[in-house]
């Protein structure tokens, strides 16, 4: 029905796609700092449990969005799932893209098979992979991390995150080698 007349269709609007695009625009409006609508309070209440708007600028897939984010409002849940379908990037193709990855609520960075979120680290400004690097391009030690960001880090949590990052980086390097792209 949505095909052109020449292809046997009626040039009808794909209602499901149209509905999804309308719902995805709610996220754009929510992230717009100029928009001060009272409706944003509903999103704030639901997202606060997971760290706030960080879940919208991170890299969760739809499945992890539904499992990880405990949202009571059905409409907001649908909007978040649609946003994840549109926003999720499942492949990293360069070192700079790897370093710019969000540490939190990222389906590619998994600890115990779940995306992670350490609220204290997030509040202290540890947001992306590059924030865990030192000047010599190595990961900070646990002590170095604690000193740089003035935070208390659980050694097990730190090691788990580091292990997940190293595993992801090895996967990225191997894919690039197989595809003859080459990577530093």
pLDDT at 11: 67
With the CA atoms of 169, 97, 119 and 114 taken in that order, what torsion angle do they form, in degrees rounded to the nearest 10?
-50
**Contact partners, residue 11, CB within 8 Å, separation at least 6:** 2, 3, 4, 5
CB 20 within 8 A of CB 76: no
Q: What are 1-46's pLDDT values in tens digits?
A: 556 657 666 666 778 888 888 888 889 899 999 999 999 999 999 9
pLDDT at 180: 59
pLDDT at 30: 92
pLDDT at 81: 94
Residue 181 has pLDDT above 60, yes or no: no
pLDDT at 38: 93
CB 184 within 8 A of CB 135: no
Q: What angle do CA 68, 85, 127 make, to 5 degrees?
A: 55
Same structural domain, 22 and 78: yes
CB 107 within 8 A of CB 133: no
| Pairwise pLDDT comparison (22 vs 149), residue with the higher score | 149
Evaluate whether residue 30 is within a structural domain. Answer: yes
CB 67 within 8 A of CB 50: no
Same structural domain, 71 and 102: no
Q: What are 96-140's pLDDT values in tens digits?
A: 899 999 999 999 999 999 999 999 999 999 999 999 998 777 899
Taken as a whole, the chain contains a residue count of 184
Residues 146-153, mean pLDDT to the nearest whole number:
93
With the CA atoms of 113, 126, 53 and 88 taken in that order, what torsion angle do they form, in degrees rounded to the nearest 10?
-50
**Contact partners, residue 6, CB within 8 Å, separation at least 6:** none
Tell me the whole-structure pTM to 2 decimals: 0.81
Same structural domain, 77 and 114: no
Question: φ, ψ for residue 139 (rounded to 5)?
Answer: -75, 145
Structure tokens at 11: 């040039």
**Contact partners, residue 165, CB within 8 Å, separation at least 6:** 109, 129, 132, 139
Same structural domain, 11 and 83: yes
Give dist(CA 154, CA 134) in Å, integer: 19
Q: What are 42-66's pLDDT values in tens digits?
A: 999 999 888 888 889 899 999 999 9
Residues 91-99, mean pLDDT to the nearest whole number:
90
Could you count the other beta carbons within 10 Å of the beta carbon of residue 129?
Answer: 23
What is the tally of structural domains in the chain?
2
Evaluate whether residue 106 is within a structural domain. Answer: yes
Tell me the pLDDT band of 67, cut-offs 50, 70 and 90: very high
Same structural domain, 65 and 20: yes
pLDDT at 85: 92
| Full domain range(s) for residue 15 | 5-87
Residue 183 has pLDDT above 60, yes or no: no
Evaluate whether residue 184 is within a structural domain. Answer: no
Same structural domain, 122 and 149: yes
Residue finishing a domain among 47, 67, 87 = 87
Give dist(CA 31, CA 26) in Å, integer: 9
């Amino acid at each position: 029905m949505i095909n052109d007349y020449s292809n046997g269709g009626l040039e009808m609007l794909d209602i499901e796609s149209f509905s999804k695009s309308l719902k995805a625009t709610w996220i754009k409006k929510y992230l717009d700092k100029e928009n001060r609508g009272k409706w944003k309070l509903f999103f704030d209440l639901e997202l606060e449990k997971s760290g706030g708007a960080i879940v919208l600028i991170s890299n969760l897939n739809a499945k992890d969005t539904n499992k990880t984010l405990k949202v009571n409002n059905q409409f907001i849940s649908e909007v978040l799932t649609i946003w994840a379908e549109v926003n999720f990037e499942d492949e990293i193709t360069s070192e700079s893209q790897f370093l710019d990855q969000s540490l939190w609520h990222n389906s590619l960075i998994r600890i115990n098979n779940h995306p992670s979120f350490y609220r204290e680290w997030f509040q202290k400004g540890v947001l992306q992979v590059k924030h865990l690097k030192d000047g010599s391009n190595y990961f900070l030690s646990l002590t170095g991390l604690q000193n740089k960001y003035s935070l208390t880090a659980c050694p097990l949590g730190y090691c788990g995150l580091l292990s997940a990052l190293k595993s992801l980086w090895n996967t990225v390097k191997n894919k690039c080698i197989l595809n003859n792209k080459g990577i530093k």
